[in-house]
Structure 1
Amino acid sequence: MSELVVLRGASFAYEDGPAVLDGLDFEVREGRALALLGRNGSGKTTLMRLLSGGLRPHTGTLTVEGQPVTYDRKGLTRLRTTVQLVVQDPDDQLFAASVAQDVSFGPLNLGLPDPEVRDRVEEALAALDITALADRPTHLLSYGQRKRTAIAGAVAMRPRVLILDEPTAGLDPDGQERLLATLDALRASGTTVVMATHDVDLALRWADDAALLTPSGAHTGPAATALARTDLLHQAGLRLPWGIAATRLLHAQGLLTEGEPGPRSPDELAALAKAPASPPVPADG
């Protein structure tokens, strides 16, 4: 998969503060679901804002499809039609009177003709399963509905990369499952999704790749491999995912062959328990 958005040698510090990121290299690969993990204060939010153009690195470069980003109006417009960030608290992002008005804000800001704006709004509302809420005042939405509306506003920009900051935080289990199904549908339609989360079990289950943000930099690899690195997990202030621990136990007990993937969720473990046992290998003779 090609590198779609790349930071090289990026450093950033807030005014009168220490460096939050220093010489960071980070890549978003097209078509891969990427989980971004790290302890509080590790720079996850800063990194997401650098990737989406909300902040500009003090040193280093940001490129999109190999082209350096310029921070003038034209360059930022190009970046924001490629990369969209949805912040953790939807109330920081919603401001219009109704759901449809809020979702239409980005496309209108691009100067698109009204028919295309309407098409994008309808498409985004349908993608997030909130078409019925189009005329609902935003202040009357539930927390989960506000989350979906904020994501729909980003989807209406038709970005190639959608970055979500803790999108499942505050949702009940049913709300989490519905949102994950929505993200899977967006991925199937060609959107690359980056999710910042503290939930290592969710990252293992959902992501193709995981990036652990540590004091020594970002360490990215296939989710099952990266999330099994206890040294990196310790640096990132994270625990071993449940699925990795279960897989190690199943391998140790001979219930999985070496190299056979293990369960990433309790449901997958339950399915393994119901599966018929492999027939014994007959003895020679």
Structure 2
Amino acid sequence: MSEPVLVALRGVSFAYEDGPAVLRDLDFEVREGRALALLGRNGSGKTTLMRLLSGGLRPRSGELTVEGRPVSYDRKGLTGLRTTVQLVVQDPDDQLFAASVAQDVSFGPLNLGLPDDQVRVRVDEALAALGISALAERPTHLLSYGQRKRTAIAGAVAMRPRVLILDEPTAGLDPDGQERLLAALDGLRRSGTTVVMATHDVDLALRWADDAALLTPSGARTGPVAAMLARTDLLEQAGLRLPWGIAVTRLLRERGLLTDDAAGPRTPDELAALVGAAPAVPADG
């Protein structure tokens, strides 16, 4: 991959107080413009890794870098980091606290000391990006779960980060809510935001991501999503199953319906289009 590294952990180890090491000598990179899915079993260290990337935790050893420069953990260094990297936690109620949607989304930009007119522009842009402009004056306690998720993400987007890290963003959403959120994330990616998504959903990762990072007891392995999610050895170590699309791709190749160099389907719609375009296989006899 030739894309530049925006944020990286180099030789990082971390343990919570009086606890065993969660991560040991970890190297991890977020490359500009690459949608990255972060996968691993519960307790593998995904949440810890995301908090290290966003500056919420400080490594016991090793370093966090932004564009190759080590991050300092003083006020100036952390403020600079949070204009580059923003983390949105899984439960939106852990992040929302203001009376209305617009007030909540404006909190970060106001803390940067921006003038009111710039704050309003950022809030309007973030609400539009997440498709919730009509909810600007809605009290946060009257929002649906999906609306609260998108409001929490809008609050991070208003900081105009280069890297947006999302912890299980589709968890708890119905299918329509998931599609709305994914469409909003696609819009953010097109506008230049690099998105990292932690998820247990291997099918979603295969469909959405460019790259996948699998957290295993031996460390993190990162590469193109289709290749990584076809690695049954790594999937087993990470406590994950084979994605539907990978299993279907293997079957199609066994039946001669897909060449080895052709990309396999990631969604049922892609499978239907692929099968519909394939020549009929003559019956025996």
TM norm structure 1: 0.97
Partner of 2:55: 53
Superposition pairs for residues 213-252 of structure 1, below 5 Å?
213-252=215-254
What SS does the aligned partner of 1:121 have?
helix
Runs of 4+ in structure 1 over 3 Å off: none
Whole-angstrom CA distance in 2 between matches of 1:216 and 1:276: 41
Aligned CA distance change for structure 1 residues 278 and 159 (closer, same or farther; 3 Å): farther
- Deviations along 1:169-200, whole A, 9 cap, x unmatched? 00000110111111011000000000000000
The unaligned stretches of length 5 or more in structure 2 are none
Which of these residues, 124, 131, 134, is aligned with residue 132 of structure 1?
Answer: 134
State the shift of 1:46 in Å.
Answer: 0.2
Which of these residues, 122, 126, 132, is aligned with residue 124 of structure 2?
Answer: 122
Which of these residues, 80, 95, 98, is aligned with residue 93 of structure 1?
Answer: 95
Residue 5 of structure 1 aligns with an amino acid whose one-letter code is: V
RMSD: 1.2
Partner of 2:259: 257
Q: Does 1:109 align with 2:108?
A: no
State the shift of 1:276 in Å.
Answer: 5.1
What SS does the aligned partner of 2:72 have?
coil
Partner of 1:202: 204
Whole-angstrom CA distance in 2 between matches of 1:195 and 1:158: 17
Whole-angstrom CA distance in 2 between matches of 1:164 and 1:201: 17
TM norm structure 2: 0.97
Partner of 1:163: 165
State the shift of 1:270 in Å.
Answer: 1.1
Residue 268 of structure 1 aligns with an amino acid whose one-letter code is: E
Residue 113 of structure 1 aligns with an amino acid whose one-letter code is: P
Q: Is the 8 A contact 2:257 2:278 kept in 1?
A: no
- Deviations along 1:148-170, whole A, 9 cap, x unmatched? 00000000000000000000000
What SS does the aligned partner of 1:152 have?
helix
Identity %: 85
Whole-angstrom CA distance in 1 between matches of 2:86 and 2:28: 17
State the shift of 1:278 in Å.
Answer: 8.6
State the shift of 1:277 in Å.
Answer: 2.5
* Alignment length (residue pairs): 280
